[in-house]
Amino acid sequence: MNNASISSHKPSNRDLDSIFMAFEKWLKNRPEFDTAVLRKRKCWPITAKHYKKFTIKKRNGSNRELVVVDKNLKELQSNLAAYFGQNYEVSDYAYGFVPKEPERRIGVKEQSELLVEKLRPKGVITNALSHTNKKLVISMDLKDFFPTITFPRVMGLLKSQPYNFTNKQASILASMVCLPKDVDDKRGLPQGAPTSPMISNLICKKLDFQLGKMAKKYDVSYTRYADDLTFSTNNLKRVSANKIVHEATKCVERNGFRVNVDKTKAMYSNQRQMVTGILVNEGLNLPKKHVDAIRATLNNLEHKYKSVDEAVVGFGKIGKKNSYDSFVPLGYYIGGYKGRYIKAVNKGFKGNKPTSDKEFNKVYALHLLGRILWYGQVVTTSIGEPYALTKRKYISPKQHSRIIKFEEMLASYYRISMKYHWPVEHIILRLANKLPHLQSLVKMNPSFLLDSILLNVDENELREKFLKLGLKKEEYTEFFESAPSSLQRILRVENRSHTNFSHNTIKKCIEHGWQVPSKQQLLFQDLNTGDLADLFHKSSDKQGHNVEKLLTNLVRVTRPQLRYLSPNIKAKIVAVHKELLDLVRTEGGDVCIDLENETKKTELSLQAIRDLKSAIRLYDNDTDNFYQKVVLHAVNRSGAVNIFSIDKDSMASRIVTDIKAWQDALTKVLMSIVQHTENLSSTASQKAYTIKFRDKNPVTGEPRAIEIYRLNHNLPFKKELDIDKSKSKGRVMKWLTGGDLSSAVKSFLSIGDIFVHGKFLDCDDFTVNLTEHVYVKEKHEEIDKLGKLFISLKEVND
Amino acid sequence: MLNIIYFEDERRPDRNEKYKAFILRSGYSNIIKFMQDIDVDTMSLLVADGVICHSGMVGYELVSHFAKCNNWPMLSYSGTVDSTPYLRENKFNKNQFSVDSDYFELVLPEFIERCNTMKERKN
């Protein structure tokens, strides 16, 4: 549903594209049975060359044999995995290798009817969740799980429903997904191939069905995570542990598997009941050893160590601890030695330069955060999302204390990130929105938070309406009609239409906000002559401005507008906020900032302020004025200085605005003019175009604008409006902008609209708003030596 | 006699005191009048030979607009870091001047002189 877009009945290019993409996907994912083609792709016959064996040590000391699949075969296997994924119906008891049901496959109605649990992705946590608070938990393990799923079994699967492959087809596919004879005598599934998990789940369907039936009979809960079978019950009168183990073993063996007897455990509630690495005695929890390891690391980092290196070396010295106890992430070796060339950790990409300390610290920070969030995920899973204090009565005291522990860990991590300058503040603040305690724990003064935690009433109402949108075009039209005009403006521009709006553009706006010129102007007004002007004016106090006061003002003014600012301005404001906040946190509430005298403490804040200043403030001096920074800059970039003359009048006013937006929009407009001007030569005295600037008139309310006049006003704007000329105003249904003009419109969205005036291919004396695509009948008089008004870029007034 | 208007900053009244005190002390109070009301109606009726205001005050844009329309010499004293310690003339608009607020006292006589010259030129 998310990707649905509403379009007209005529097949558009986008429709054709999506049909083509679907066909391409089908072509790519369909199984290949032609051995000649497979041979060409170096995937036939499958031999030991396609698999490279390697072993890793298991925790019990024995070896686990894994394989690396040759890249050609792996690509083919990945396509097969996608193919099996299309009709991947596993039993309800399987929790391993089951992807989350994509939301788009579930309709809105179905979603509301489904329980939250059903939408939760299946995994180790949900597997464990089924066995919480049980008197008896039995854990069994299948011996050599993948190796016992052999070639004939896979053949059998492929020849049966729903695949119904012929003998030949099944044998080719089975050869692709099973190990060759020269690697494994029994031709089992390779551990490390992308197809093996799915095939194993499909093979286990019968086993799950039989064990599930047995479980129901004895009032037992049953789940399977890969080769881990777990049974649990509170009804010990109905069945004994031995009976369950006996029946399950019988069933397992009947299905061609073997039980790893050494690993079979019956755990009663007075013992530690562990399911897939998670404790299930009372709610979900991690083993104490893991939790303590995280807490100890956090404590040491916060109070003892002075650098990450020290922490890593410290853990290297622990020696006998298992690997999961140490916090030595990728790139570090035992003893705290740093590896080289580690980059882009998530992709495993190796850079060609030695890795910087900053990069290592980031790896370490995210590694540690990962551990904390894993604990958080375990302890909050059964609570429901988001965790609300109001529901506290439904949470057991133990579970509640674990959540508090998690919040404390995050708070400590936050303080550590401040200490070591890890760039993870945004992650913690995002989490703080969900975890009520966290805000106070990180000593967040809510008045310092720049991001709005809650949407206001109107924003919420809009979001609700958006969430109810279905697939019908009328619903989208209705939504559009009821949306605020500023949102309508953006949706028109983004979709280049008055009637068709894609779900994704609406979603983006609703989730992240959209550019609203009037809101940005409010902020600029404050930065110009309001309380925020102090950011640029030195204080009468010798010590400088009080940072806490600056920060409070910044948050007060900016927070309601932040969603509606241009990305450029937003980034600058956020940077100032971050630096000022850091200054208050590290130096305390009384810290002052002197704009003229930079100190070591204030240099970052002052740099951020200077960056903001250079992005928004234009002066009445000779260099940083509108003429130099915007108009001349754009004319030079357009590459046709000889056809534009600039009327400098009023171009040296003091203005607070989005300089980049003016620059980009004007440059692109001029480039578009240059492209459409046939003869670029002009006489020195009379250039073809004149650029004028009109500052805001506070008396008449006329907005600030750049006006471009054209001498030869008899030339038309080379587009047909295709409008009813008898009407004085209306919509232009055919989209006129493309290329440079289209990007000019987008660049100018945070400031205002772009207009074209005068003659068009099919009419004269009209003004068209190229942003909103509306027209108005309007005649402009010719001005001596300038010609007629041709294009204007105007601020939008509220 | 010259009629120069000093506009008071309503948002930061504390900021005015220093400058007002200097004007009174230096004996310019007979030609410089203090004014608080900055609205369109008052401004459109205003007759002046020059105006003075802080560049970060509320209403600066209105004062600046009317100064441009009526060709009033305008002195804006500024607390911004890059403002100059001397009377700087705007090259695009010769009637507009600016100065670092710390040097207000130093340049005031020069500004008054400029207002005087312009008034004489008009007459």
pLDDT tens-digit readout, A732-771:
998 988 888 999 999 999 999 999 999 888 888 899 999 9
Contact list in B for residue A619 (CB cut-off 8 A) is: 82
Contact list in B for residue A654 (CB cut-off 8 A) is: 55, 60, 64
Q: Which of A498, A302, A316, A496 is nearest to A408 (CA)?
A: A302
Question: What confidence tens digit (pLDDT) does each residue in A520-573 have?
Answer: 999 999 998 888 988 988 887 888 899 999 999 999 899 888 989 999 999 999
Inter-chain CB proximity B81 and A538 less than 8 Å? yes
Tell me, what's the pLDDT at A407? 84
Tell me, what's the pLDDT at A494? 92
Distance CA B14, CA B17 (A): 6
Contact list in A for residue B40 (CB cut-off 8 A) is: 698-699
Average pLDDT, stretch A216-245?
A: 92
Give the orientation angle of helix A503-512 with respect to helix A473-482, to 10 degrees: 40
Average pLDDT, stretch A672-696?
A: 79
**What's the whole-number average pLDDT of chain A?**
82
Distance CA A303, CA A306 (A): 8
Q: Which of B80, B96, B101 to mutate to test the interface with A (most CBs of A within 10 A)?
A: B80
Inter-chain CB proximity B56 and A536 less than 8 Å? yes
Distance CA A252, CA A175 (A): 25
Question: What confidence tens digit (pLDDT) does each residue in B64-114 have?
Answer: 999 999 999 999 998 776 778 888 888 888 888 999 888 999 999 999 999
Closest Cβ opposite residue A698 in set B14, B40, B79: B40
Q: What SS3 state is found at B16?
A: helix
The answer to whether residue B96 neighbours chain A at the CB level (below 8 Å) is yes
Average pLDDT, stretch A392-400?
A: 70
Q: pLDDT at residue A110 above 90?
A: no
Q: What letter would DSSP give residue A333?
A: E
Tell me, what's the pLDDT at A100? 62
DSSP secondary structure letters along A306-321: SSHHHHHHHHHTT-SS
Question: What confidence tens digit (pLDDT) does each residue in A122-170 have?
Answer: 888 889 988 988 999 999 999 989 999 999 999 999 898 888 888 888 9
Residue of A nearest to B16 (CA): A540
Task: Tally C-beta pairs within 8 A across A and B.
Answer: 69
Closest Cβ opposite residue A654 in set B18, B55, B62: B55
- H/E run at residue A363: helix A357-380
Q: Of residues A708 and B14, which shows the higher confidence score?
A: A708
Q: Which of A524, A525, A529, A623 to mutate to test the interface with B (most CBs of B within 10 A)?
A: A529
Q: Write the secondary structure of A465-531 as one string of H (helix), E (strand) and C (coil).
A: HHHCCCCCHHHHHHHHHHCCHHHHHHHHHHHCCCCCCEHHHHHHHHHHCCCCHHHHHHHHHHHHHCH
Question: What confidence tens digit (pLDDT) does each residue in A319-356 have?
Answer: 544 444 445 555 555 555 555 444 444 455 555 566 67
Question: What residues are paired with A258 via a beta bridge?
Answer: A143
Report the alpha-carbon angle B4-B10-B16, nearest 5.
Answer: 60
CA distance A596 to chain B (A): 6
Q: Residue A624 is which amino acid? A: D
Tell me, what's the pLDDT at A749? 94
DSSP secondary structure letters along A656-668: ES-HHHHHHHHHH
Inter-chain CB proximity B56 and A528 less than 8 Å? yes
CA distance A615 to chain B (A): 15
Distance CA A78, CA A29 (A): 9
For residue A602, the tally of other CB atoms under 10 A from its CB is 22
Tell me, what's the pLDDT at A329? 52
Q: pLDDT at residue B2 above 80?
A: yes
Residue of B nearest to A530 (CA): B58
Tell me, what's the pLDDT at A393? 53
Tell me, what's the pLDDT at A343? 47
Residues 518 through 547 of chain A touching chain B, CB cutoff 8 Å: 528-531, 533-534, 536-540
Q: pLDDT at residue A44 above 90?
A: no
Question: What confidence tens digit (pLDDT) does each residue in A606-644 have?
Answer: 999 999 999 999 988 778 889 999 999 999 998 888 888
Tell me, what's the pLDDT at A567? 93
Tell me, what's the pLDDT at A113? 41
Question: Which of these ranges, A37-51, A320-334, A449-463, B35-49, has the smallest mean pLDDT?
Answer: A320-334
Q: What SS3 state is found at A792?
A: strand
Contact list in A for residue B42 (CB cut-off 8 A) is: none
CA distance A448 to chain B (A): 23
User: Are A744 and A792 in contact, with CB atoms under 8 Å apart?
Assistant: no
Q: List, in order, residues 6 or more apart from A696 with CB less than 8 Å away.
A: A702, A703, A704, A795, B61
Cα distances (angstroms) measured from residue B80 to each of A76, A538, A596, A780: 65, 6, 9, 41
